[in-house]
Chains A and B, each alone.
Chain A
Amino acid sequence: MEKKVRATEEQLAYAKILDVGMKTGLLMLLVSFVVYLSGILSPHVPVRDLPKYWSMPVKKYLAATHIHTGWSWLGMIGKGDFLNFIGIAFLAGVTIICNLRIIPIFLKKKDIVYTIFAVLEVLVLTLAASGMLKAGGH
């Protein structure tokens, strides 16, 4: 049986990137939210109009505000509300980077099964992030 009193090399590498990514993402989110609230960049949906929309199902909200799904927010990051999506996307993307980081370590150890797990995880998360998966409306 393999013993692991200390964290393994891949575990430490994963943790290091997760740590930096988490702090960076959280900071980005806070800064962008301050910009949003301060009104430095005008939002796509005025803050005073939000109560009209936040009780709507998402499909109605998107139609009413003329917001498109997927990565279309990238074209709107000049708007105060959409600026926040940089931090959100960063936080949601850190795990992909972490998994990419440990693939070479597993390969170096000739741990083929866990290399496959890491590659599969990257593929699953990338598919989720791609914007290709659209949910039906209600």
Chain B
Amino acid sequence: MVKTMVRRYAVLIFLATILLVVLFMSGFAAASSDATSVPAAAASSGVPWWVWPLVLFVVTFLMGIVAVLGGVGGGVLFVPIIGGFFPFHLDFVRGAGLLVALAGALAAGPGLLKKGMADLRLSMPVAVIASSCAIVGAMVGLALPTNIVQTALGATILGIVGIMLMAKKSEYPDVKQADALSTALRINGIYYEASSGHEVNWQIHRTPQGLATFIIVGFMAGMFGLGAGWANVPVLNLMMGAPLKVSVATSKFLLSITDTSAAWIYVNNGAVLPMMVVPSIIGIMLGSIVGVKILTRTKPAAVRYIVIVMLLFAGSRAFLKGLGIWN
């Protein structure tokens, strides 16, 4: 999916990046030349304004590489790392995190749908539930005190680390019989497995339980701005029995709907700063391009453990920051 995205947007993103770097450099020059005339305008730490967006761009670029190699979405790395180690308030970080995840999902969605890897019939009932609950999650997240959200975010990230370490994946789950709801909704299909050259028939089970789980998944996606691939895939694959590739592709597509609803809440409540959002989107997309190229020459399993360690560190940081222990 990322390869498709890369082919489509490579030129656009490349040009945009050059443009960005040039403009940041011009901003750098302008800021340097008149820095003495605006003493109050500089950050309280004395760091010029353009430094953090530039660092954000570089870090999200690296994040894009690691996300591809580690097989995780950018959103799950973005919020705890940027929220934990950058000066931006968590409200703006979550808003930007949702838009980063949304942009990635929108870019991947068309290719996944056209190939039949992401399944619209599977997505739609899930999306109605998850997007509704994401709205509630976003509103709750913006209403709660920051330290509570930060602590809960840290606990969630540590929980995700647990899921990544323990959850098994099933390439082709054994679904002996489709349940009544999925049969009524005609949620089933065939996809072409290029690696084996075979067509794979699939159907799902435990649909009511799966749909109920998306109430929690949607809520958490909206509240923390994480995207939700980390939860979507295990629910679709392990609980509902969709093949792994269909689960991954449908999850990615689902994010384009779930994150849309939550993103609107953040946009309409003022929690979106373009100076954070645009460098992040471009950085992570460009990083994904490089990540795909590196993927052919590296061992993803090793990188996955690096991602787990990064999340463990960022999750601990968020948890302890929320509790006021590590500020």
Q: Which residues of A contact B (CB under 8 A)?
A: 1-8, 10-12, 14-16, 18-19, 21-23, 25-27, 29-30, 32-34, 36-38, 46-52, 54-58, 61-62, 67, 69-71, 81, 84-85, 88-89, 91-92, 94-96, 102, 113-114, 117-118, 120-121, 124-125, 127-131, 133-138
What residues of chain B lie closer than 8 Å to A33, measured between beta carbons?
A: 20, 274, 278
Residues A61 and B113 in contact in the complex (CB < 8 Å), given A51-B42, A51-B49: no
Cβ < 8 Å to A, chain B residues 91-121: 91-92, 99, 102-103, 106-107, 109-111, 113-116, 119-121
Say if the beta carbon of B192 comes within 8 Å of chain A: yes
Query: Are A12 and B114 interface neighbours, CB within 8 A?
Result: yes
Residues A133 and B265 in contact in the complex (CB < 8 Å), given A55-B87, A88-B277: yes
Query: Are A3 and B261 interface neighbours, CB within 8 A?
Result: no
Residues A138 and B265 in contact in the complex (CB < 8 Å), given A1-B188, A54-B87, A54-B276: no
Say if the beta carbon of B313 comes within 8 Å of chain A: no
Query: Are B23 and A47 interface neighbours, CB within 8 A?
Result: no
By beta carbon, the residue of chain A nearest B260 is A95
Query: Are B89 and A58 interface neighbours, CB within 8 A?
Result: yes
Of the residues B44, B92, B132, B185, contact of A124 by C-beta under 8 Å? B132
Query: Are B42 and A48 interface neighbours, CB within 8 A?
Result: yes
Of the residues B16, B203, B273, contact of A1 by C-beta under 8 Å? B203
What residues of chain A lie closer than 8 Å to B232, measured between beta carbons?
A: none
- Minimal beta-carbon separation of A8 from chain B (angstroms): 7
- Minimal beta-carbon separation of A131 from chain B (angstroms): 4
By beta carbon, the residue of chain A nearest B87 is A55
By beta carbon, the residue of chain A nearest B95 is A58
By beta carbon, the residue of chain B nearest A73 is B267
Residues A49 and B41 in contact in the complex (CB < 8 Å), given A7-B114, A125-B264, A137-B143: yes
Residues A18 and B88 in contact in the complex (CB < 8 Å), given A48-B31, A85-B274: no
Query: Are B267 and A14 interface neighbours, CB within 8 A?
Result: no
Residue among A32, A54, A62, A102 with the highest chain B CB neighbour number at 10 A: A54
Query: Are A138 and B261 interface neighbours, CB within 8 A?
Result: no
Jot down 11 A-B pairs with beta carbons below 8 A, ordered by A: A2-B188, A5-B190, A7-B113, A11-B116, A30-B19, A47-B49, A54-B92, A54-B275, A96-B260, A117-B127, A138-B146
Give Cα distance in the complex from A58 to B119, angstroms. Answer: 37
Q: Which residues of B contact A (CB under 8 A)?
A: 8-9, 12, 16, 19-20, 23-24, 26-27, 31, 38, 41-45, 47-50, 52, 87-89, 91-92, 99, 102-103, 106-107, 109-111, 113-116, 119-121, 124-125, 127-128, 131-132, 135, 138-146, 178, 184-186, 188-192, 199, 201, 203, 256-257, 260-265, 267-278, 281-282
By beta carbon, the residue of chain B nearest A121 is B128
What residues of chain A lie closer than 8 Å to B111, measured between beta carbons?
A: 15
Chain B interface, DSSP helix/strand/loop, else mixed: helix
* 11 new A-B contacts at CB < 8 Å, known A30-B19, A113-B184, A133-B268: A18-B106, A23-B8, A25-B106, A29-B278, A37-B26, A51-B43, A51-B49, A55-B87, A58-B270, A92-B267, A128-B261
What residues of chain B lie closer than 8 Å to A49, measured between beta carbons?
A: 41, 49
Number of A-B contacts (CB under 8 A): 239
Query: Are B109 and A15 interface neighbours, CB within 8 A?
Result: yes
Query: Are A131 and B268 interface neighbours, CB within 8 A?
Result: yes
Query: Are B278 and A120 interface neighbours, CB within 8 A?
Result: no
Query: Are A18 and B143 interface neighbours, CB within 8 A?
Result: no
Residues A125 and B113 in contact in the complex (CB < 8 Å), given A48-B42, A133-B268: no
Query: Are A117 and B113 interface neighbours, CB within 8 A?
Result: no
- Minimal beta-carbon separation of A64 from chain B (angstroms): 11
Query: Are A22 and B109 interface neighbours, CB within 8 A?
Result: yes
Give Cα distance in the complex from A25 to B89, angstroms. Answer: 26
